[in-house]
Structure 1
Amino acid sequence: MSQDEAPQLTIVVGHRLGKGQEVARGIEEAGVRAVLIPGPAGDMRVGDVMAEEEADLGISFCGSGGAGAVTAKSKYGHDIEFGMRSVDAGVTAVQAGKTVLGFGFLDTYELGHRIATELVRRAGAHA
């Protein structure tokens, strides 16, 4: 299968306060499709939207960095890492095969770009 025929990777982003635009921008500029859940409490719907979109990864943002990730694990069985506060922690979680990442409020381009880049690298290694 050529690069052009490869299925598009998808990352769902849910933010407690209805944000996440910067992370989504970083994801898309890394060549990965971003699905940004609109409105407040998006973090709590990450697992649901991942199922609807057949997404490869979910990113949840809230104060504690855990509510949406834990909900996705309990409802859909996702392998999660939560309570993260740095980009490096997120990259390490993707390397470890986690499918939902829970962060405190860290809506940055760098986070989206580096997480998406690592997901692409990991997907290529498993192709």
Structure 2
Amino acid sequence: MKQIYMTTYSFLYFTPAGLIDGSDVTQTPLLWMMEGQSATMDCNHTKGTSYYEMYWYRQLPGQRMKQIVLTTQSPPHQYESGFSADKFPATKTNALTGSLTVERLLFNDSGVYFYSCTNTQLLVSQ
């Protein structure tokens, strides 16, 4: 049986206003899923409505981070090459909330999934 494990870590990043620690962002902290299921990561922030775009990224083991999608409240969302709404449907209900789903989980979906200043780690075990 194959299982998928997801967890969240915060990291620091720079903005024009200075260093931000991610404490104003809440993201799904832990998901334990089976291969073939769907995994949804929710994200909320208190940065204000001027932060109306959400960028979602994925980093697979041994690879560099790649952008999956840019979301706004007004679809269509902008998917990067190699990613699609069928596999990675995203929602952006308002300026402060959004989600990313990974459909039909496979072992190859194991990696770290990021939003802005936090990330969700996804591990698929065999």
Q: Same fold (TM over 0.5)?
A: no
Q: Which structure dedicates a bigger proportion of its chain to helix? A: 1
Q: Which structure dedicates a bigger proportion of its chain to strand? A: 2
**Higher Rg:** 2
TM-score where L is the length of structure 1: 0.30
TM-score where L is the length of structure 2: 0.30
